[in-house]
Amino acid sequence: MSVPILPSEIDISSPEAYLDEARIQAEFSRLRNEMPVTWVDREPYRPFWAVVRNADIKLIEKNHEIFINEPRLTLQTRKAEAASAKMFGGRRYGIRTILDMDEPDHRKYREISSRWFVGSGLRKLLDRVDTIAGRFVDKMAAQGGECDFAAEVAMWYPLHVILSLLGLPEEDAPHLLRLTQNLLAASDPDLQRSDLGGTDVIPEFLEYLGRLLAEKRAHPGDDLASAIATAEVDGKPMDALEAMSYYLIMVTAGHDTTSGSISGGMHALIQNPAEREKLRSPSPELLRNASGEICRWVSPVKHFMRTATADFALHDATIRAGDSVALFYVSGNRDETCFDDPFAFRVDRKVEGHLAFGFGIHSCVGRQLALAEMDAFFGKLIPRLRHVEFGGDPKLIQSNIMGGYKSLPIHYELTH
């Protein structure tokens, strides 16, 4: 079997490519139609297979015994991988989050937090989400019709929700925002600390999280950070590095993605006034569907990776044991065989099957919370929004992993 190789004019790996959304999406469309599984060997990354169709991504995720998360979870430059290996040894950033784990550990550790995000655990959170959403909409009203929606609203609202969930003080928000951006937006020249892929942020992050762990172990409360601090796995307390890793994934995955969805959602609602109009007095079902459509549309998580542990045939390719596979959720969310007219933003479309939250055993544990945050925010904002338009050029985060706007100036009129 010949190996389908990505033509050199198509670039889906570089962070810069994601700044031109129309172009990158056109490239993914071409790949979905012509080369659904391709071998990408392009510096500064180690080679990998690109999987771009919705159904193929789901197939790989269903086969999680073959396609495991450890050790290569995202595209990192060779330089960043070398820095991580030098500083921390074999493990990605020297940490072990539930995203890095495979079965059986993954299931045991995931259970510790999953109950906080469903049923009565989630219901307990919703009042707080509603209050915090209301605060940010009121802040916009008080601001007098002009703001940088990404930098002043969308980046902060989900961060305050996650602080409340973890039981952290609100004054820590700026510090945590900076650390998260330095780590997850490490390829953006405005947000990175260096060109080492965020590796150099880890010691400072762990120092903060280590203090948090010590405090929650000494004085546990009714919050997720205490539940993690006091949890046992196989009858033993969780190892300190694993508990800090747990905090790290909750803090980072829990707000950047939701912020990206909210700012991207606002962008789409400005560009599509008829869709905005449908949300003027929405039913809870329509609002929830709109939040799902925003996640599909924005796809803040561009890709995650897996490593094959056995040979696997997919279309014309044979993925060999040891090969890396990148699952491009951003492409699966525009798959024309899955969505009717996928390049149209429609708040009332059938949105099931999208991949914004991943799929299978690692699919997002915070999905219901994220959707509830979006429902609460847009459900309060849109009915009061008389007018909204762009107030300057929007700026996307330069990243092939975690997208969203870093700046979205808007002008608006809100009723009181």
Residues forming contacts to ligand HEM in the complex (CB under 6 A) are 98-99, 110, 162, 249-250, 253-254, 257-258, 261, 295, 300-301, 304, 329, 356-358, 362-366, 369-370
* Interior/surface letters 386-404, b for 16+ CB within 10 angstroms, e for the rest: eebeebeebbbbbbbbbbb
Nearer to ligand HEM, 52 or 414 (CB): 52
The region, left, alpha or beta by phi > 0 then psi within -120 to 50, assigned to residue 221 is beta
Q: Taking the complex as a whole, how short is the minimal distance between the CB of residue 24 and ligand HEM, in angstroms?
A: 18
Nearer to ligand HEM, 164 or 272 (CB): 164
Q: Taking the complex as a whole, how short is the minimal distance between the CB of residue 4 and ligand HEM, in angstroms?
A: 23
Nearer to ligand HEM, 79 or 124 (CB): 124
Contact 212, 243 (CB under 8 A): no
Torsion angle of the four alpha carbons 154, 260, 76, 207, in this order, in degrees rounded to the nearest 10: 30
The β-bridge relationship of strands 395-396 and 317-319 is unpaired
Angstrom distances, CA of residue 326 to CA of 61, 138, 299, 307: 11, 41, 15, 9
Residue 124 CB partners (closer than 8 Å, separation 6+): none
Q: Taking the complex as a whole, how short is the minimal distance between the CB of residue 305 and ligand HEM, in angstroms?
A: 8
Distance CA 92, CA 115 (A): 27
Q: Taking the complex as a whole, how short is the minimal distance between the CB of residue 197 and ligand HEM, in angstroms?
A: 18
Q: Taking the complex as a whole, how short is the minimal distance between the CB of residue 224 and ligand HEM, in angstroms?
A: 8
Distance CA 22, CA 82 (A): 33
Q: Taking the complex as a whole, how short is the minimal distance between the CB of residue 301 and ligand HEM, in angstroms?
A: 4
Work out whether the CA dihedral 76, 247, 61, 53 comes out positive or negative: negative
Nearer to ligand HEM, 366 or 379 (CB): 366
Nearer to ligand HEM, 10 or 319 (CB): 319
Distance CA 186, CA 201 (A): 10
Classify burial at 108, counting beta carbons within 10 Å of its beta carbon; exposed 0-12, middle 13-18, buried 19 or more.
Answer: middle
Q: Taking the complex as a whole, how short is the minimal distance between the CB of residue 115 and ligand HEM, in angstroms?
A: 13
The region, left, alpha or beta by phi > 0 then psi within -120 to 50, assigned to residue 196 is alpha
Nearer to ligand HEM, 206 or 250 (CB): 250
Which residue number places its CB atom closest to ligand HEM? 366
Nearer to ligand HEM, 64 or 193 (CB): 64
Nearer to ligand HEM, 15 or 366 (CB): 366
Q: Can you give the length of the chain in residues? A: 416
Q: Taking the complex as a whole, how short is the minimal distance between the CB of residue 194 and ligand HEM, in angstroms?
A: 25
Eight-state DSSP code of residue 301: B
Nearer to ligand HEM, 137 or 249 (CB): 249
Contact 399, 300 (CB under 8 A): no
Q: Taking the complex as a whole, how short is the minimal distance between the CB of residue 154 and ligand HEM, in angstroms?
A: 11
Query: 3-class SS at 52?
Result: coil
